[in-house]
Chain A
Amino acid sequence: MKKTFIKFLIIPTLLIGTLSSCEDEFLDRATTTQQQDADIFSTFNMTDQVVNNLYRKTRGVYTYLAGQNMSSAADESKDASSWMASMQFNNGSWSGNSNPIGNTWRENYVAIRQANQILEGVEQYNTPDDPNNPGYLSNRIGEVYFLRAWFLADLVRQFGGVIIVTHTIDQNDQEALNQPRSTYDQCIAQIVADCEEAYNRVAFDYPANQVGRVTKGACLALKARMLLYSASPLWAQAGKTTYQADISDDKTATDPEKWKNAADAAKAVIDLTSQGSLVYSLEPTLALRQDMFKKNTLTSKEVIWIRRDETNQGYDQYIFPFGSSGWSGASPTQNLVDLYETSEGLPITDPASGYDPLRPYENRDPRFYSDILYNGASWKGRTIETYTGGRDETSTQTDHTRTGYSMRKLADENITIGQGTGRGIHGIQFRLAEFYLSYAEALNEYSPGNPDILQYVNLVRERAGQKPVEGSLSQTDMRQRIRNERTVELSFENHRFWDVRRWKIAPETQQEIYGMRPIPDANTPTGYRYDRFKVEDRPWRNAMYVIPITTDETLRNPNLKQSEGW
């Protein structure tokens, strides 16, 4: 009995023994699988590819609004389809739970962590320089500094003062994770500092296949743009002590020193010199200005920095009129059309301008014809027909222009939707004209009457073939003309949405959106009666000056206060 019992025990013991002896090899399945930090930062090549990924995370300028043009969230245009993200801005249903632009709070912090990771990784692992191109590593580090500033600037533009993160945070570091927001001006200072660090490391320009890397010009440009924002009424005083915008109805907050910094920074972009000659210059003609958006983006001397391959032919379909198989996206509004002056160089509200409501599309600023498709415009060998029954009928039906116009500025007329392989579209993040106008704007605020103001505004107009602004205007009138010029020159380039906010003029400009419906009428000089109609009312409250932070994030971090009014 005893003997059999022992036998009985031997077998299971052997069984378990066999299993446990080889347990480790059998279950070891994931020992040497994936790349770790050391694998990345010990070579220049891998580090370089991590930098590439950081570029990839920059949000494009034409597709900024969840793939569509940000202009439809402002009074520049209106999207045709109800599913497009701009509708949330238009009907006021945006909130902390839903930022139509996207989850940009998270996206930008993800990008910032990656930037910090590169800066720390390069130091920790003593990353070697590119053996074939000495100096590249330092250049890449500079690019990362700039990009870190870029992502912070994107946060600041939307939310005001945010949390500044300059190192990778540990997941258990509750203090770093639950910081309160820094003041707006602290954020600007951080952006400026990173831009300056980057400026010292990066090149003036790059070989053709590397165009799009951060240049010295880009560093100056980002700095200039953010200093202009910080000097504007929404932030001039508020930003010094708080992260909250000044959303009061008062529109006059100002600080001459901030304006001066902004003007100087813009002038630095304009005056940037390499080997004795200016780095940037305006495209000389209106036609070349148009080419800059289509085919000469990579070579234009006016372009300072771009988002490479932002989009493709699908974008043409998005903005093309219905009659050309397009979706009539970002159809310009009458509000915008009214801002194009007459060829007399005067606003249409000026009796001397010669504006004729019966012939609204005659004798306008040449940029009107290059940027906007209107009823009767010539396009792809035919005429645009936005009248009822026309090929590009104005209507609320799918893919029809809701305003009576279509956007021409970014559209490539040579494209036929559904045919050909299309084109790669590089989005222009900075171009020289912006800084001419920023310089004039800032100068007019602290040194009105300075001759540079008229000079730089008129340089932009002259290139477009528009008559110069003349005479001695008051500071207020000049401000109005500069703002008008900026809206027209930089239309659809993701400026207006932010400009009406920093100027605090949104309540006047953003609420009522108009369109123009041509009605065939033989008794009129053009054959059409032009019926100005309201497209929609857009809700406004002053809280909308800034975008609310994701509600979830304010719940995760008890020290993170929501933007005022949300």
Chain B
Amino acid sequence: MKQNLLKKVGTIIILYLLTLLSHESAAQSLTIRGKVKDETGQVLPGVTVIVKGTTNGATTDTEGNYTLNVPNGSGILVVSFIGFTTKEVPINNQTTINVNLAPDAKALGEVVVLAYGQQKKETVTGSVATIQTKELVQSPVSNLTNALGGRLPGLITTQRSGEPGVDGSTFYIRGVHSLNTTTPIIMVDGVERSMDYLDPNDIESISILKDAAATAVLGMRGANGAVLVTTKRGKVGKPQVNFRTSAGLQEATRLPKYLGSYDYARLRNEALINDGAQPVFTEEQLEGYRNGTLPNTDYYKFLMKPSMVAQSNLNISGGTETARYFISAGYNFSEGNYRFTEDNAEGFNTNNIMKRYNLRANVDVDITKDLTVRLDLAGILTARRDGNNSASDIMNLANRMAPIYPIFNEDGSLWGNGTFTQNIYGEVARKGYRDWYNNTVQGTFAVTRKLDFITKNLSGRVSFSYDNTNSPNAQYGKGYAVYQPEYNALGDVANYRQFGSNSQINPDGSFGGGDARRNTYLEAALNWNGKYGKNEITTMLLGNRRLVNENSRIPYAYQSALFRGTYTYNTKYIAEVSASYQGSENFPKGSRYGLFPSISAGWIISEENFLKNKVAMLDFLKIRGSYGEVGNDRSGSERFLWFTSWSDAGDDGTYAFGRGWEQGAVGNENVTWERGRQVNLALEGTLWKGKLGFTFDVFKERRSNILLSRSTLSDVFGQSIKPQNIGIVDNHGFELEVTHQNQIGRVHYFFKPNVTFARNKIVYQDEVLRKYSWMYRTGHPVGTKFGLIADGFFRDADDVANSPRQSFSAYGPGDIKYVKLTPDEDYDYIQQAFDETAIGYSRTPEIMFGANMGLDYRGFDFTILLQGAAHADVMLNNEAVYEFFQEGKVKPFHLNRWTPETAETATYPRLHYSTNGNNHRASTFWVKSADYMRIKNAEIGYSIPKNLVSIVGLSYFRVYANGMNLYTWDKLKDYQVDPEIGDGNGAMYPIQKIWNFGIDVRF
């Protein structure tokens, strides 16, 4: 009933609008009617039909019908609708024109974004992988880098922290290829910029460039691959308004669990006895811990709670033949998990909060038919807050404080003592707060001029970009005291001893200038393409210059000239040459410039007569290959390696008689860039009319000239020397991506799995002469773990007596027994120096896989992204796994420790209270597989039928729920840490699981 009413009202409004239109064009000479349908035959309401070059147009009604009056029968109709390819239909004096629109996704897929340009996908000869906006917006993340894991073959990602605002992932393209920096460069709309805080809704596509054919034009910045982000631009058509908003909850995927006071106390007694010391807890105390009369503090339970995330974006795009625009505003909010952050009289919140505001306008204007200008402006403001503490400090405290200590005293004051002057409540609620701002403005102005007057299809472009980022911070610190109760003879609190002092926020706060970064980029390019019969040529010649001012550092500067030429014969044979000649300020005069060339070729076999139209299932099949040289000019943060210089030893560098000056590392006059030689071979194809597609790449790289410090230089030299170009690393592997999509009845589904394998090997790194072959790091992948081989626990005193001596600290039955590798005639005991060998994979996975899949049916849609990694190990230590580490505590898996009674089944050595040099050392015992698979992302949505939403003037209305990191399968459950945790003590802010609900509306 209600629906009917709405329908009637809607119809009346539309009829009224149509009347207006027809009224306007009273002098009609022709009326055209027609129906617009999609490729499946379903009618499309809300489609814009416009006479080309005019503002005369109409919109289809709920039945997909339109009526349009045109002055004569010779024009062209432009039929456009979001999500579909725009179609142009000549009128040719017809009065009924029915149109079928094809979905847009396919059309987008046909162009691939490359460095400094784009190409038709079928003629690309380099190795490039791309995803579109639709997949990106499914991840409710505040940092875009966290949305890519598992989606792009060749991309390896790791996220080490979930703290709002500092939770970005690290990227490796095709794994680790160097002993130095191996992160790829990130370019947004052709300029090297950070992508972290872009709004996913503003992004058209993200490509990663993987081989030399794709990156040679990036010269000495290209060896680690590149990530290219392209933002959306306006298209001719009526304004399209998109609004998307969502809100949700986030919580830790996993939190460390520790044993309670009773278990803590009895295990500590046991450990002390094992150490030959006196137990410290009496039976009464144990009983008190057991029955709860004495403190039993669960720090994580006390500290953490689920918190909120929210995001919204409004964007409008459209345009006419002369001007097109995309404007967008976005907001993103993410709050940390700490409790008690608003426990203060002043009314501030000390939680970790990340707020992000994005504004963007991308505008193209055709001034004449030959001259186009483009102006892109983006403002990205982030404001991050924390409780004037670092997440690792708080995690360390939560991981360290024993459960027997209370958080509050009887009188409500904060508990502490001379050792524990930090109190967890005090840390989150009583230290004030800090605000970290990051204000980024990015602008690009470009002029493109068609130069057909010189020669046909020649165009020139000049563009200038200016980015500015300032990240000041403001600190409003305060201090808190902790109090240790002192008891009288009756056991009552006599008084409290105070440690530290309470202080209030200074209203002026303290201001940190933070970082200031300015990036200017100038580019001039000439593009030309020509077609002579079956020969097709495209060329690009480009010069650019980049200057980066970062804080007070001497500016970074690059300039290069680069070329790319493609030749296609008969749309079957493709050859491409590209090269850049580039210089960097980082090298001495005279050896600044390098040439980085690549060649590549492709053969579209499916176009050959012996296949074309003969193998029905085969749509497309291409073989391609490339070879090239690329470079990398950075070795950590150290610059100008050819210098030897003296410097003031700093504020700590004074002695009673004045400042101290010293000579720095000795320079390397022959310094040059790292050189990567890369080969890539691939096969790609589509079958059964696009139902099945695949891309398979194999690659090999040798990275040489890697800048390394010489490790064979004796300390007797008495000084560091700057890195030398000596390292060599090989890398090889493959990627496979398969796409399958199909429609069965009204169910449309897709399945898109991909896998990446990349294995590297250190070929040379100036390793010292090792006494035994198993000690060499060379020959293993970068980051391979080294340590002793653990061989269970000593059974008894006989076992101890009959085994080789272990030279680390006192040990006995129940302690870890190691394998001795040295021959008995050399050494009769086990030692760190000669018995350590390769015991585990590097922390960066060798295998990364993902599978995005989904289906839709009558407006319902469901997608899920599985993502995982394999061939990765983690070596945990300290608070993460050691018992009682530096007065710390114990975890549930410590219960299964060795005791004489449980010798057979124990999975943990006998306990010690003090640092145990024998057990607590790098060995296979602490190496754990960090393989995992997780439901990285899942989304379920429902789009209300178009005919319903159009009544209220909308063209699209979808509700959805999605989530991140929903479930994980892995092997680290015993340690209650996330499988993306770094090696070490586990003091990381937990990775977040997010549940999110939202709507997506288009007008």
Residues of A within 8 A of B (CB): 4-5, 7-8, 11-12, 15-16, 18-20, 23-24, 26-30, 33-37, 39-40, 46, 48-50, 52-56, 81-83, 87-88, 91-93, 95-97, 105-106, 109-114, 116-117, 163, 165, 168-169, 171, 176-179, 209-210, 212-213, 308-309, 322, 325-327, 395-399, 417-418, 536-537, 539, 550-553, 555-558, 560
Contacts and interface: CB of A to CB of B under 8 A. Distances in A.
B276 interface: yes
B833 A96 contact: yes
Contact of B559 (A19, A96, A326): A19
Nearest to B554: A29
A186 to B, nearest CB: 15
A130 to B, nearest CB: 13
Interface in B764-783: 768-771
A107 to B, nearest CB: 9
A34 B718 contact: no
A308 B656 CA distance: 6
8 contacts: A16-B543, A29-B557, A37-B644, A53-B655, A56-B655, A82-B913, A112-B718, A396-B272
B654 A56 contact: yes
Interface stretch (B727-735, B802-810, B950-958): B802-810
For chain B, give the interface size range.
35 or more
Contacts of A178: 714
Given A5-B455, A87-B914, A30 B808 contact: no
Given A36-B646, A113-B719, A93 B769 contact: no
Q: Which of A20, A49, A322 has the most CB of B within 10 A?
A: A49
Given A34-B646, A555-B770, 12 more contacts: A19-B559, A23-B583, A27-B584, A30-B639, A50-B646, A55-B655, A55-B660, A113-B718, A209-B656, A325-B497, A555-B769, A556-B712
Interface string B455-481: 100101000000000000000000000
Interface stretch (B128-136, B230-238, B585-593): B585-593
Interface string B747-778: 00000000000000000000011110000000
B366 to A, nearest CB: 22
Contacts of A325: 418, 497, 499
B200 to A, nearest CB: 36
A11 B554 CA distance: 33
A552 B711 CA distance: 9
A15 B666 contact: no
A169 B718 contact: yes
Nearest to B421: A418
B589 A28 contact: yes
Interface of B: 272, 276-278, 280, 418-419, 454-455, 458, 460, 497, 499-500, 524, 526, 528, 541, 543, 545, 547, 554-559, 561, 583-585, 589, 592-593, 639-640, 643-647, 649, 653-663, 666, 711-719, 721, 768-771, 807-810, 831-833, 886-887, 913-915, 917-918
A12 B714 contact: no
Contacts of B807: 92, 95
A30 B556 CA distance: 10
A24 B711 contact: no
B769 A558 contact: yes
B180 to A, nearest CB: 20
A96 B649 CA distance: 29
B526 A15 contact: yes
B534 to A, nearest CB: 20
Contact of A539 (B528, B557, B584, B810): B810
Contact of B554 (A33, A36, A114, A550): A33
Contacts of B460: 11
Given A105-B715, A398-B419, A557-B714, A19 B654 contact: no
Contacts of A308: 655-656
A144 to B, nearest CB: 13
A177 B713 CA distance: 8
Nearest to B418: A325
A168 B716 CA distance: 10
A177 B646 CA distance: 23
B775 to A, nearest CB: 9
Contacts of B458: 8
Contacts of B558: 27
Contact of A171 (B419, B656, B713): B713
Nearest 3 CB-CB pairings of A with B: A113-B718, A53-B660, A93-B917
A322 B418 contact: yes
Given A92-B810, A95-B833, A395 B280 contact: yes
A399 B420 CA distance: 10
Contacts of B810: 91-92, 537, 539
Given A18-B543, A29-B554, A95-B833, A34 B528 contact: no
A553 B554 contact: no
B418 A169 contact: no
A19 B545 contact: yes
B272 A82 contact: no
Contacts of B661: 35, 40, 46, 49-50, 52-53
Contact of A52 (B524, B559, B645, B654): B654
Contacts of A28: 585, 589
A255 to B, nearest CB: 29
Nearest to B660: A53
Contacts of B653: 53, 56
Nearest to A553: B715
A213 B658 CA distance: 12
Contacts of A105: 715
A157 to B, nearest CB: 17
Given A8-B455, A55-B655, A396-B277, A30 B585 contact: yes
B585 A169 contact: no
A12 B541 contact: yes
Most interface-central of A179, A327, A398 (chain B CB within 10 A): A398
B658 A48 contact: yes
B662 A163 contact: no
Nearest to B420: A398
Contact of A399 (B276, B419, B555, B914): B419
A110 B666 CA distance: 13
A322 B419 CA distance: 10
A110 to B, nearest CB: 5
Contacts of A87: 914-915
A27 B592 contact: yes
A15 B771 contact: no
Nearest to B481: A418
A360 B112 CA distance: 89
A4 B711 CA distance: 59
B404 to A, nearest CB: 11
A557 B716 contact: yes
Nearest to A162: B716
Contacts of A212: 656-657
A27 B810 CA distance: 60
Nearest to B642: A30
A24 B643 CA distance: 18
Contacts of B646: 34-37, 39-40, 50
Given A24-B589, A171-B713, A308-B655, A16 B561 contact: yes
A396 B280 contact: yes
A36 B558 CA distance: 26
Nearest to B584: A27
- Name the residue in A12, A111, A397 with the highest tally of chain B Cβ atoms < 10 Å from its Cβ: A12
B716 A163 contact: yes
A355 to B, nearest CB: 27
Given A15-B526, A49-B661, A55-B657, A553 B280 contact: no
A556 B713 contact: yes
B221 to A, nearest CB: 14
Contacts of A8: 454-455, 458, 528
B718 A56 contact: no
Contacts of A56: 649, 653-655, 660
A27 B592 CA distance: 8
B716 A165 contact: yes
A110 B718 contact: yes
